[in-house]
């Protein structure tokens, strides 16, 4: 069973606007829906999804390309017509997700929190409101972005009023509210589905996956494993057949100088030949090490030492080797300790091919050795039941 976050901190008042936007779609039953309104709904979805993927995500969160200060502000305004809070909040939350992806500190991990909490429940949590903006200091230096983030609902409200003024109630309910709800769940699907459904081309230390149909629905965001493998790339569909509409549009805008310096993944990154970063190796090694029972290994070691050397000698060795667990285990030569070859073999079974699998196996062995050393030390000083 996955470890789950406590969900008893739901901020119910904070969920009211979100719920009301969903309920507003019921107005379609009263107004009906014309083809023109459905077209408006599709256009508003497409434009705002592009703003989220190109603006909130690839620009504000990852700085994957450059634009002017005026272009930055315009993009931020369009982003906030999506009613997904402010651009600074969005970027701060997303950077936190990448820093702690699929760990206990990830704000929306299906592995730890469950699918529906990762999809939508997390946005009502007090944690999602109490954001530390120090992680987006490159953005908070712009007072216009800070002001816009403070009045986060203003752009969406202006758009809603404009849609009503142009097309009346039908346009408001089906054009604005319906497209906003679809937009919500298209965005949230990356947090939930893209960490559950699809395939993993690269070892990233998390559950990110590539999903072609999700990429079509979200204009390229479905190539999520690619993105976690090289986060600063403007292009998330690494291969020619991986459709990435957001990148195509950004490339088009670059011809007019509206955006520039679009960052691309190096060939070694695309081919998977580049070695993984130390944080990724650490995360994957921890996961690999967890597949072995430290308690079982320690028990066998303790029994063997007690029968061949005596418990006192084991205590002495453990104390001396408290910071040198690997040297101690090399001296023990017990079959219960997994060898590097065994760890490497299991790593190949668990993960896709990577030039860092040997590094992962070595680090996993160190983690197991350290854990076994602590376990033995605890066993050494735990009185046996019935003794003085």
Number of domains in the chain: 2
Tell whether 136 and 242 lie within a shared domain. yes
Query: Residue 128 falls within a domain, yes or no?
Result: yes
| Residues 244/215, Cβ–Cβ less than 8 Å | yes
Specify the 3-state DSSP secondary structure of 266: coil
Q: Domain end: 270, 304, 334, which one?
A: 270
Residue ending a domain, choose from 270, 292, 308? 270
Same domain, 151 and 264: yes
The neighbour count for residue 298, using CB atoms within 10 Å, is: 20
CA distance 337 to 339: 6
pLDDT, tens digit only, all 388 positions of the chain: 444 444 555 555 667 788 889 999 999 999 999 999 999 999 999 999 999 999 999 999 999 999 999 999 999 999 999 999 999 999 999 999 999 999 888 989 999 889 999 999 888 887 777 788 999 999 999 999 999 999 999 999 999 999 999 999 999 999 999 999 999 999 999 999 999 999 999 999 999 999 999 999 999 999 999 999 999 999 999 999 999 999 999 999 999 999 999 999 999 999 988 888 888 888 888 888 888 877 777 777 666 666 655 555 655 665 555 555 555 555 555 556 788 888 878 878 878 888 888 888 888 888 887 787 777 767 655 554 444 3
79 in a structural domain: yes
- Single out the residue in 205, 239, 270 at which a domain terminates: 270
290 and 262 in a common domain: no
Residue 368 forms part of a structural domain: yes
- Are 242 and 360 part of one and the same domain? no
Using alpha carbons, list the distances in angstroms from residue 191 to 46, 342, 358: 19, 34, 30
| Domain match, 259 and 285 both | no
Kindly state whether residues 257 and 290 are assigned to the same domain.
no
Tell me whether residue 140 is exposed, middle or buried, using C-beta atoms within 10 angstroms of its C-beta: 0 to 12, 13 to 18, 19 or more: middle
User: How does DSSP classify residue 65?
Assistant: S
Q: Residue 157: inside a domain, yes or no?
A: yes
Domain span including residue 178: 12-270
Q: Is residue 2 part of a domain?
A: no
DSSP string, 151-204: TTTHHHHHHHHHHHHHHHHHIIIIIIIHHHHHHHHHHHHHHHGGGTSSB--S--
- 323 and 255 inside one domain: no
Is the same domain home to 115 and 227? yes
Residue 223, φ and ψ in degrees, nearest 5: -85, 60
- Does residue 212 sit in the same domain as residue 308? no
Residue 1's pLDDT is 40
Determine which helix (DSSP H) or strand (DSSP E) holds 368, and give its type and residue range: helix 357-380
Q: How many residues does the chain have?
A: 388
Indicate if 75 and 129 belong to the same structural domain: yes
- Residue 29 belongs to a domain: yes
* 264 plus 297 within the same structural domain: no
- Domain contains 198: yes
- The values of phi and psi at residue 66, to 5°, are -120, 155
Residues with Cβ within 8 Å of 257's Cβ and at least 6 positions away in sequence, in order, are: none
- Domain assignment present for residue 362? The answer is yes
Nearest to 361 by CA among 349, 371, 372: 349
**Same domain for 317 and 191:** no
247 in Cβ contact with 220 (< 8 Å): yes
């Amino acid at each position: 069973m996955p470890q789950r976050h406590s969900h008893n901190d739901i901020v119910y008042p904070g969920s009211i606007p979100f719920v009301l936007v969903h309920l507003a779609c019921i107005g379609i039953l009263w107004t009906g829906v014309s083809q023109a309104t459905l077209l408006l709904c599709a256009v508003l979805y497409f434009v705002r999804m592009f703003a989220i993927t190109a603006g909130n995500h690839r620009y504000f969160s990852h700085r994957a390309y450059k634009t002017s200060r005026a272009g930055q502000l315009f993009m931020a305004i369009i982003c906030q017509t999506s009613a997904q809070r402010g651009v600074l909040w969005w970027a701060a939350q997303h950077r936190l997700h990448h820093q702690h992806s699929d760990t206990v500190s990830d704000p929306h991990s299906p592995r730890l929190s469950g699918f529906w909490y990762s999809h939508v429940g997390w946005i009502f949590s007090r944690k999602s409101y109490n954001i530390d903006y120090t992680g987006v200091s490159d953005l908070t230096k712009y007072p216009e972005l800070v002001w816009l983030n403070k009045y986060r609902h203003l752009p969406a409200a202006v758009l809603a009023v404009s849609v009503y003024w142009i097309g009346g109630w039908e346009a408001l309910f089906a054009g604005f509210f319906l497209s906003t709800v679809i937009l919500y769940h298209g965005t949230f699907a990356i947090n939930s589905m893209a960490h559950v459904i699809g395939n993993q081309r690269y070892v990233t230390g998390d559950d990110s996956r590539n999903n072609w149909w999700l990429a079509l629905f979200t204009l390229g965001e479905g190539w999520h494993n690619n993105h976690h493998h090289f986060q600063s790339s403007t292009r998330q569909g690494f291969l020619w057949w991986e459709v990435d509409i957001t990148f195509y549009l950004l490339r088009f805008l670059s011809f007019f100088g509206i955006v520039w310096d679009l960052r691309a993944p190096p060939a070694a990154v695309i081919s998977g030949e580049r070695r993984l970063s130390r944080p990724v190796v650490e995360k994957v090694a921890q996961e690999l090490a967890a597949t072995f029972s430290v308690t079982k290994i320690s028990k066998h070691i303790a029994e063997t030492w007690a029968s061949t050397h005596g418990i006192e000698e084991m205590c002495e060795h453990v104390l001396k080797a408290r910071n040198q667990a690997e040297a101690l285990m090399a001296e023990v030569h017990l079959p219960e300790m997994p060898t590097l070859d065994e760890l490497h073999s299991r790593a190949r079974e668990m993960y896709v091919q990577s030039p860092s699998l040997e590094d992962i196996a070595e680090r996993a062995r160190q983690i197991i050795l350290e854990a076994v050393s602590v376990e033995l030390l605890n066993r050494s000083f735990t009185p046996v039941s019935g003794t003085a």
